[in-house]
Structure formats: C-alpha cells, structure tokens
Amino acid sequence: MADFAVLHSPACTAIWEVSASEAPLWRYWGPRLPDGVVPDTGLRETRPEPSFSLHHDQPLSLFPGFGMAWFGQSALLAHRAGMASAFDPGECRIERNGAHALSFRLDDRVARIMVEIRASLDPATDVLTLSASLENRGDGALDVQWLAAGCLPLPEDAETVHSFAGRHNHEFVPVADALSRSLWRRENRRGLTSHDCFPGAIVTCGDGTAYGAQLAWSGNHAQTIEWLDDGRRQWQAGEWLAPGEVRLEPGERMAGPEWLATVSSEGINGVSHAFHRALRARIAWPGGAMRPRPVHLNTWEGFYFAHDEAALRELAEAAAALGVERFVLDDGWFAGRDDDKSSLGDWRADPRKYPQGLGPLARHVTALGMEFGLWVEPEMISRDSDLYRAHPDWALHIPGRPLLEARNQLVLDLARPEVGAWLFEVLAGLLADTPIAYLKWDHNRDLAHAGEPARHRRQVLAVYGLLDRLRAAFPSVEIEACAGGGGRIDAGIAARTHRFWTSDCIDAVSRVAMQRGFLRFLPPEIMGCHIGASPAHATGRQQAMAFRCGVALPGHFGVELDARHLDATDRETLAAGIARYKALRDRLHGTRVWQGEAPDGLVWQAHGSEAAMVLLVTRTDATSQRHQPHLRLPMAQPGRSYTITADDRVLATMDGAWLARAGFALPPMAAETVLVCEVIS
C-alpha cells in the first residue's frame, strides 16, 4: 500500500505519494478534497508499461530529475565539469513542520547533491508556497543552470494559460495561449522583474477551475508548462540563470525564490483572492498593520527636473488644500540633477535649488499636515557624477567591453561589500537628517551587462539585503517600488515595500487594462494610481477629471500634476475625487476583489464582501447598443435582497439570484466614464 503526504487548506488540497527512496510523486493538486480521501492504489499500479518504454516507470514528481528515466523538463540542471549531471535522489526524508508545512530532503548520493523542497499550504490564504535549495556535497565545484522552485501538476483539461507581456508605459498586456502538446515557456533575462514578462500566470481549465502561480523574485526568471505522457501537464518556475552565474563550491548551498501557487474552483477571481490574501500576509507594514493608504502628491509630471523651492512650497499648499496626505518629491532634487544625464549617486540636496537642504521644504510639508516622501534611485550611477569620478569600477561592467548605458546611467555593483556599505550609509544619512516618511525607490534600466561571471542573482539578493537593513534601521519608513513604472512588480519585493508604481503611463484609458492585469496577482492597496494632467503626458490623450479620478479610485490614490494651476471645475472635481477615495478606501482595500466583463465593452470590478460591495463599472468606448446592457454579479447570494445605488440614487433592488443570473439594467454611460455604485444587502 502506498504512503501519502497530504496538505489541505479550506479551498485546496495537495497529495503526494511518498517513499523513502525517491522524490514525492504528484497525485493531486486541486480544489479541496474531503479529509482522509487519498488514492486507493500506488500510481505505478495504474500505469501498465507502454511500448518502447523503459521498464522503470518515472511519473511526475515534485522535483523531476534528469537522466534517469524522466524525459520531460527537469527541475535541476547542474554538473561538475560534465559529471554528476544525472539527478535521481535515492533518499527522501520527509519532515512535517506543523500541520500545514512539509519539507522533503532529496539526497542523491551518487551525484552528491542534496535538494530540499519546502512546501506549505497556508490555511489563511489557500496559497501553496514551494521553494528549493541545493547543496553541493561533492568534491568539485557544481555549475547550476536551472533550479526550479518545484513542479506543479496541471490536470488533463487545462486549456489556456493567461500571462502578461508589456513594455515601459504599457505594463500588463494580457496574453492568452491555448495549451497544446508544445512546450509553453516565458523567460526574462533583463536582470530585474521586467515590464515585459510578469513572473506568473493563471491556467484555466475546461471545468472552470483556475490554477495560478507567481514567483516571488525580482530578477531573471523562467516558467514552463509541458504536456506529459499521461495527459497531465507539469508547470515549473524558477530563476533564469546565466551561464556560469551559479557555481557552488564543495559544501556551498543556494536557495531559490519562493513560488506561490493556488487553485480555485471559482475561476480566475478565486485565484486572485488567494493571491491578494497571500500578498497581504507578506507585506510588513510599519506598526504591524496597514493604515489607510494616504493620498499622494507626486511632483514628477507636474515639475519634472525643474525644482524651485518656492513653487514647490506653493504646490504643497495647493495639495494640502485638496486633501493630499503625503507629498513625494520626485527626481531632480539632488546635486547637479537638471536632466537625466547626470548625478545619480550624488545623493545630497542640490545647493542651487535647496540652499538650506531639504529640511525646510520637508518641514513645510509636515507643518501642512502631510508626510514628506523622497525619490531615490540607489542602485544606479551616472557617468557624470562625483561618485563615478571617484569609483568608476563600482559600475557593473565586463572588462574589455564597452559600457552600455540606458537613460545615460550605469548600474552599481551592489554585491560588492564596500558599495553596499556606502549606499546604506548614504540612505541612512538622508533618512536621519530629514523628516522623510517615505522613499520612492526607482530602478530605471535593465541589467546589461551584469559583469562576468554574471551577477544578476547577486544583485537581487544585495538589493533585498539593503532594503531589509534599511527597514530594520528605519521601521516607520514606507517604500515604493518603482522601475520606470512597473518594471519590478513581484511578490519578492512586495515583502520589503509598501506600494508599486504601476506604470509611468497615467493615461486613464490605458490604465484600465493595466490595473486589471495587476489585480490578477496583487491587491489594490499597493497599486499606485495617479491622476495626471490632460492631455496625458504618455499618450497625448485628453480625459475628463472625473474619469481620471474614477480610474484611480480603487488603487493607492495619488495626484501627479501641477495642482496650483487647475481651473475651478477641475479643482472641485479633484477634491471630490479625493474625498470619495477617503470615504471608500477602507472598503476598497484589504477586502475581496472580483473583476468581470459585461456586454457592450464594459468592464467592472467589485471590492468588499458578498454582502456589501463597492462596484466600479468602466466604459471606455461609446455604446453600440440602443438600450443599456444588464450587469450580472455572479457572487451575489440567492435569498438576499440587494440595493444598488449610485450617487445616492437607487438604481435597482433585487434578489441575489436575479442579480447573479439576470442582472440589473445599467444607466446610460458616456464613453470614458466610471460608474461608482454601492451594492448592499
């Protein structure tokens, strides 16, 4: 009789067939099974030997090996100068760490490699976290090419994989690929998470079940989905490693990133719900709990590099009058920084612009009742900077090759201890000298080159270490992760920061789809959403203030325009938008989010609970129908009476069954409008 290891959460179950002599075999990963339900036979007993097959049957395990009867993608690719490339652990030691976590120590005494897989299924979030670490127990150096966080099985009816592509100014472009017998693979080699390849995906199945997974890592990554001989598929994810990037000396160990996975019989919205809960559990808020997300004013698009202290004081006054709660001084404040050609690394206030330093402006802001925040781009160095003149070797480079610049800047080799130590001192000095409550931490280029041997991985670990050190030293400071907008959005850096700058494009029409993509994986309270000027700087499109406010409403709301020069109507609309955000933020954030599409080009999202929701319906294009479509809310509960109001006007009252199946008639909506409703039972 086979033995099984089982993990349950309220909505999910994972079952492995385990023995002391091999990696655990995947038997089930799917919606919750009743307690005690396990397979009645060992998997191999159900698999008679097919023609042209090895006599040893190797089904899918949690960590598929290489070279010993497994012909699919391997979870480990490593070798010692060509030797020890086969991986087939003959020993598996299982440890239970409480009711919800297991570790599997897979020992291959021939290859002299030990892999430990940790698996935990959190009952509070329905997220299974997998991670792998590897130890070189041999005599020679072990070159590692691939170490997956583990492997997940997908059922036979897995149909479509939904992932996200994009670019700067256009993050979260949805991509839906039909799964076939071809290998599906997404890779990112840009050195940071990237705008063009979010490290996660959602797979939808014929029966409506959805499987999601995302890698908690801010560097290179790869994920694959592969059809298997038994009709299932295997899904792997891990760091993409450059040739020679990881060489483990005898006794050395490497730990790969965590991979967060979930499954929901409620489809994609169920997957997002689990991810939101898991991300919320990862974020370390100052004081231990999220406080209402303060309204931002960010100076970038309103001022760019043209910092004038008197004008910025006026801006702060205008912002405070509108109801802004945090004033973030963006790029342009430090020594010699008049454009993007110089000064990264010279992190001291420009005496021409701030003769007394940043203190007076910061104190003016705090005296107006707002927090003061500051933009920094710590990982970078401009060639035209005092720092570069003093330490040209601190930039990542490959000796003998030209320096490749992007936005006129190079990347600091953060893993060098003297560079990391210097940077910590500089940032700590800034935080200690000025009342800075918030850092916007930017990263405006890809990592090419990243040294030789490649230092992508070391760079990510070094920035994590730096953030951890700063957080420990300044626990009340919140940090925003930005990389030219959304170039570093992932669950790894989310554990060390408090907000993402979703995109440099704040055109409200463009933002609709981007924000919907973001919300598939991450919760709204960390999604930076600003009201920009009209025309939008990124696209040149003009949009009404009310529409801009409506699109920004569900996220972490902010203003990014010169608020001194608004006409009276826009000022009034913006102040009302801010007031509405403040009134609703407790219900928009920290609660469940559903997203859906309605007929006639409408999209909607609801935040709250099945009993009471804030509903946002967005129309970007004009209607093509004479009569308005009906909007159905599938989560509405039969037997409850729901009242739907917009601006205190009752639109409809109906039973939840009717709301879920037939829906309510939407009022006429012009192009580029957001209807904000309350749905209360």
Q: Which residues bind ligand GLA (CB under 6 A)?
A: 300, 330-331, 375, 442, 444, 482, 484-485, 501, 504
Q: Which two tokens stand for residue 78?
A: 């490593």
CB 457 within 8 A of CB 415: no
Angle between helices 359-367 and 309-322 (to 10 degrees): 20
Exactly one of 122, 413, 442, 570 is catalytic; name it. Answer: 442
> Distance of CA 303 to CAs 223, 267, 330, 533, Å?
41, 44, 9, 12
Give the N- to C-terminal CA distance of the chain in Å, as an integer.
52
Q: Which is nearer to ligand GLA, 211 or 375 (CB)?
A: 375
φ/ψ bin of 464: left (φ > 0), alpha (ψ from -120 to 50), beta (otherwise): alpha
> Distance of CA 512 to CAs 108, 529, 555, 621, Å?
50, 11, 11, 12
Residue 43 CB, shortest distance to ligand GLA, in Å, is: 50
Residue 332 CB, shortest distance to ligand GLA, in Å, is: 8
Sign of CA dihedral 332, 337, 342, 344: negative
Q: Which is nearer to ligand GLA, 258 or 480 (CB)?
A: 480
Residue 378 CB, shortest distance to ligand GLA, in Å, is: 13
Residue 347 CB, shortest distance to ligand GLA, in Å, is: 14
> Distance of CA 535 to CAs 332, 508, 509, 564, Å?
23, 11, 12, 17
Residue 445 CB, shortest distance to ligand GLA, in Å, is: 10
Query: Active site includes 384?
Result: no
Q: Which is nearer to ligand GLA, 266 or 331 (CB)?
A: 331
Q: Which is nearer to ligand GLA, 59 or 484 (CB)?
A: 484
Q: Which residue is nearest to ligand GLA (CB)?
A: 331
**Phi, psi of 594, rounded to the nearest 5 degrees:** -115, 140
Query: Active site includes 504?
Result: yes
Q: Which is nearer to ligand GLA, 335 or 602 (CB)?
A: 335
Q: Which is nearer to ligand GLA, 373 or 550 (CB)?
A: 373
Q: Which is nearer to ligand GLA, 274 or 316 (CB)?
A: 316
Residue 170 CB, shortest distance to ligand GLA, in Å, is: 13
Q: 478: which strand partners? A: 438
Residues 6+ apart with CB under 8 A from 580: 549, 553, 676
- CA nearest to 322, candidates 374, 267, 266, 368: 368
Q: What value, to the nearest 5°, has the Cα angle with vertex 498 and ends 492 and 503? A: 80
Exactly one of 108, 143, 196, 504 is catalytic; name it. Answer: 504
Cα–Cα dist 276/125, whole Å: 8
Length of the chain: 681
Q: Which two tokens stand for residue 74?
A: 């391997």
**CA 433 to chain centroid:** 32
CB 644 within 8 A of CB 660: no
Q: Which is nearer to ligand GLA, 142 or 489 (CB)?
A: 489
CB 282 within 8 A of CB 497: no
**Which positions are annotated as active-site residues?**
442, 504
